[in-house]
């Protein structure tokens, strides 16, 4: 019987016949940690007591609380910097050279088709958008991967998602994934992988695919994997490190469930508090907001910035709204500058910062007070996620975030005629 992409990649990397349900020990291509998960990994690594360290496979990216939020986060970031220095780890991305970890993993060419990548951050599943099997792990597991280059995996069952058609204008990957999570629930893919197939995939930009894969975890998914096609090859060709081998599923692979979506029927979606599965079509709602946030590993790429800038251009941010624009990396920041997007956002009255995870996880740089509401291009709207326990986060794509920043309430771009 044939294999899914997840089964194939795990077979390739373990040298075993990886089938859903089995446990395999596989070689990882890269293991990534950030400033929050790194310090625990470093301590656990020292407990393992092996001399070996798989330095070339390790990637250290401070992003959650950098630039340092306070003394405690400064100490934490220092711990990471010193660990990198002490052990001669060259893949360390200081602020000013990196950004949000998942964006950096892709831009710097660590993520690539067919690779097995783990990261001590739950949104590591993002790289499935470019045909990698990538998944979030804990710090102790990262430490084990530092020391052995390997890790144990339970081979996941796979949900096949067959996509047809093409997104309508102002609808994209975020709307699709909110729709999927709303349909199957926040644990609908627990312990499972998604595999996206069908001619609808050909019509999706790589950026949209990355957004979809990024939020596979919000349905409990272990990975969300797209095929590798000419768009993928084009997207990574100037940055990818080393050789890679794309992996496709066998025609007779076995799936535990099949979902079908016609992209042309997907509407602009917003996920209400306090779960990503509380999706609603934007046209049916009327909700006033205090803050609009554009950024994160989900929707902080140059493509997202272009979409939002196009909507904001020539308009003003609503007087009662704070609009925060946070490019996901220094590269995105520079591209925005070169393409004149900074000017557009500044003219509109947006606040722009350098890359950080900051506000997305309720860390800093845009925290909500009690009773405040934000529409956000991020991935989680749990209780108190972006601030006070009585604040609210509404998740949406860049089109809705930009339109809402102008309208002062959750809106689609088509509703902006009078602004």
19 binds other proteins (CB under 8 A): no
384 binds other proteins (CB under 8 A): yes
Report d(CA 223, CA 209) in Å as an integer: 13
Instruction: Compute how many residues bind other proteins; rule: CB under 8 A.
Output: 52
Instruction: Name the one residue in this structure whose structure tokens are 């490190």.
Output: 241
The least CB distance from residue 296 to other proteins, in Å, is: 13
Q: Tokens representing 241?
A: 């490190």
Taking the CA atoms of residue 53, residue 55, residue 56 and residue 62 in that order, the dihedral angle to the nearest 10 degrees is 140
138 binds other proteins (CB under 8 A): yes
Q: Is 110 helix (H, G, I), strand (E, B) or coil?
A: coil
Report d(CA 137, CA 302) in Å as an integer: 27
The least CB distance from residue 325 to other proteins, in Å, is: 21
Q: What is the DSSP string of 340-382?
A: THHHHHHHHT-EE--S-SGGGGTSSSSPBPTT-EEEESSS---
Q: Which stretch binds other proteins (CB under 8 A): 48-56, 248-256, 304-312, 327-335?
A: 48-56
Q: Tokens representing 166?
A: 């093409």
279 binds other proteins (CB under 8 A): no
Sign of the torsion angle spanned by Cα atoms 200, 206, 209, 211: negative
Q: Which stretch binds other proteins (CB under 8 A): 88-96, 169-177, 334-342, 377-385?
A: 377-385
Distance of CA 374 to the CA centre of its chain: 19
319 binds other proteins (CB under 8 A): no
121 binds other proteins (CB under 8 A): yes
The least CB distance from residue 143 to other proteins, in Å, is: 7
Report d(CA 316, CA 347) in Å as an integer: 8
Residues 388-417, one symbol each (x = binds other proteins by CB under 8 A, - = not), give -x----------------------------
Q: Which stretch binds other proteins (CB under 8 A): 89-97, 138-146, 309-317, 398-406?
A: 138-146
382 binds other proteins (CB under 8 A): yes
The one among 187, 202, 262, 320 contacting other proteins by CB under 8 A: 187
The one among 140, 278, 335, 353 contacting other proteins by CB under 8 A: 140
The one among 15, 82, 152, 371 contacting other proteins by CB under 8 A: 152
Q: Which residues pair with 161 in a beta bridge?
A: 196, 259
With a CB cutoff of 8 Å and minimum separation 6, the contacts of 153 are 10, 14, 18, 23, 24, 25, 26
Q: Residue 95, Cβ neighbours under 10 Å: how many?
A: 16
Looking at residue 170, what DSSP letter applies? T
The one among 2, 15, 17, 25 contacting other proteins by CB under 8 A: 25
DSSP β-ladder status, 257-262 and 157-164 = parallel
137 binds other proteins (CB under 8 A): yes
Nearest CA to 279 out of 213, 189, 180, 204 is that of 180
The least CB distance from residue 150 to other proteins, in Å, is: 5
197 binds other proteins (CB under 8 A): no
Residue 110 or 244: which CB sits closer to other proteins?
110
Helices (runs of H) and strands (runs of E) counted in the chain: 14, 17
The least CB distance from residue 130 to other proteins, in Å, is: 20
202 binds other proteins (CB under 8 A): no
Q: CB of 165 within 8 A of CB of 128?
A: no
Distance of CA 31 to the CA centre of its chain: 16
The one among 82, 191, 283, 370 contacting other proteins by CB under 8 A: 191
**Is it true that the peptide bond before 241 is cis, omega within 30 degrees of 0?**
no
The one among 7, 44, 107, 399 contacting other proteins by CB under 8 A: 44
378 binds other proteins (CB under 8 A): no
The one among 139, 182, 197, 214 contacting other proteins by CB under 8 A: 139
86 binds other proteins (CB under 8 A): no
* DSSP H/E element including 236: helix 230-236
Binding residues for other proteins (CB under 8 A)? 23, 25, 36-37, 39-40, 44, 47-50, 64-65, 72-73, 75-76, 79, 119-122, 124, 136-141, 143-144, 147-148, 150, 152, 186-187, 190-191, 217, 220, 222, 275, 361-363, 380, 382-385, 389
């Amino acid at each position: 019987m044939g294999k899914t992409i997840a089964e194939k990649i795990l077979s390739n990397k373990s040298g075993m016949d990886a089938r859903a349900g089995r446990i395999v020990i596989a070689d990882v291509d890269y293991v990534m940690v950030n400033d929050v998960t790194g310090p625990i990994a470093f301590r656990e690594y020292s407990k393992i007591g092996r001399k070996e360290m798989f330095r070339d496979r390790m990637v250290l990216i401070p992003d959650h609380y950098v630039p340092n939020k306070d003394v405690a986060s400064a100490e934490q970031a220092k711990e990471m910097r010193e660990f990198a220095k002490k052990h001669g780890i060259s893949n360390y991305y200081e602020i000013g050279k990196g950004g949000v970890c998942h964006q950096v993993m892709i831009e710097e060419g660590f993520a690539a088709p067919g690779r097995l990548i783990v990261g001590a951050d739950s949104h590591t599943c993002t790289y499935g958008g470019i045909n990698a099997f990538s998944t979030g792990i804990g710090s102790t597991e990262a430490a084990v991967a530092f020391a052995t280059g390997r890790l144990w995996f339970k081979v996941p069952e796979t949900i096949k998602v067959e996509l047809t058609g093409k997104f309508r204008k102002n609808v994209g990957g975020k709307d699709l994934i909110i729709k999927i999570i709303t349909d199957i629930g926040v644990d609908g893919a627990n312990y499972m992988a998604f595999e996206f197939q069908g001619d609808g995939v050909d019509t999706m930009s790589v950026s949209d695919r990355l957004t979809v894969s990024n939020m596979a975890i919000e349905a409990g998914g272990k990975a969300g994997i797209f095929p590798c096609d000419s768009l993928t090859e084009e997207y990574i060709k100037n940055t990818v490190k080393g050789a890679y081998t794309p992996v496709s599923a066998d025609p007779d692979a076995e799936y535990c469930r099949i979902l079908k979506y016609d992209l042309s029927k997907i509407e602009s979606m917003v996920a209400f508090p306090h779960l990503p599965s509380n999706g609603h079509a934007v046209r049916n709602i009327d909700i006033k907001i205090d803050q609009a946030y554009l950024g994160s590993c989900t929707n902080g790429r140059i493509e997202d910035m272009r979409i939002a800038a196009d909507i904001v251009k020539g308009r003003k941010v609503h007087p009662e709204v704070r609009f925060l624009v946070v490019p996901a990396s220094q590269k995105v920041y520079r591209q925005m500058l070169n393409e004149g997007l900074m000017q557009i956002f500044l003219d509109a009255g947006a606040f722009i910062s350098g890359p950080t995870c900051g506000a997305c996880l309720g860390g800093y740089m845009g925290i909500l007070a009690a009773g405040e509401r934000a529409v956000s291009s991020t991935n989680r709207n749990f209780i108190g996620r972006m601030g006070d326990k009585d604040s609210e986060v509404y998740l949406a794509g860049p089109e809705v975030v930009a339109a809402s920043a102008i309208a002062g309430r959750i809106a689609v771009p088509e509703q902006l005629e009078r602004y």
